[in-house]
Amino acid sequence: MKRALDIACALAGLIVLSPVLVGLAIAVRLDSRGPSLHWSRRVGRGNRLFAMPKFRTMATGAPDVASHLLDDPGRWITPLGRFLRRTSLDELPQLWSVVKGDMSLVGPRPALFNQDDLVALRTKAGVDALRPGLTGWAQINGRDELPIPEKAKLDREYLERRSLLFDLQIIATTALSALSGRGITH
């Protein structure tokens, strides 16, 4: 049932938001040189790599690491990119990954291909069995501010507590967090 709900909601989101998606794609191209989308290599279910789309928020040529690992993230983030990250609008293209089956609406956020510490802790906790999510329990409980072990602990808690009602609670809290920009450091 979760998969059917994921597909229905993601397809509806892509259709309803298509004018916004097109507008943001044009805005990204006008804001800085390079493509509108950045395809990030992420770790998915069973620790398999997949390409996850995001609206590009960093200048082309930026290192392919988590922004908190950069010496000076502000140097790489585009002017529009700051707004897209603060509002989480850069994540909207991931609805395609939900339809495709690489992601779910709710689950642990997909780790970058080079976040070996997070992947190892999630694997040890059995979280690698889950499809990564557009949002998740750890995402709404600290986002960028959480240390890696705490993220893995919250991801394990989601694994143990997951249900339709819990997913709906996470989605509602995510919407409120996105509107406020809470928990985003870069």
pLDDT tens digits, one per residue of 17-31: 999 999 999 999 999
Residue with tokens 């992947």: 119
Q: What is the DSSP letter of 127?
A: G
| Predicted local distance difference test score (pLDDT) of residue 71 | 73
Q: Which run of H or E residues covers position 106?
A: strand 104-106
Could you tell me the residue ranges of all domains in the chain?
Answer: 2-180
- Reply yes or no on whether the pLDDT at 186 is more than 70: no
- Reply yes or no on whether the pLDDT at 91 is more than 90: yes
Residue 70: band (very low, low, confident or very high) from pLDDT cuts 50, 70, 90: confident
- Reply yes or no on whether the pLDDT at 7 is more than 80: yes
Residue 143 and residue 183 in contact, taking contact as beta carbons nearer than 8 Å: yes
- Reply yes or no on whether the pLDDT at 40 is more than 50: yes
Three-state SS at 55: strand
Residue 143: band (very low, low, confident or very high) from pLDDT cuts 50, 70, 90: confident
- Reply yes or no on whether the pLDDT at 160 is more than 90: yes
Q: What is the mean pLDDT of residues 89-116?
A: 96
Integer Cα distance of 80 and 131 in angstroms: 30
Q: What is the mean pLDDT of residues 90-102?
A: 97
Identify the CA nearest to 107 among candidates 142, 131, 143, 73: 131
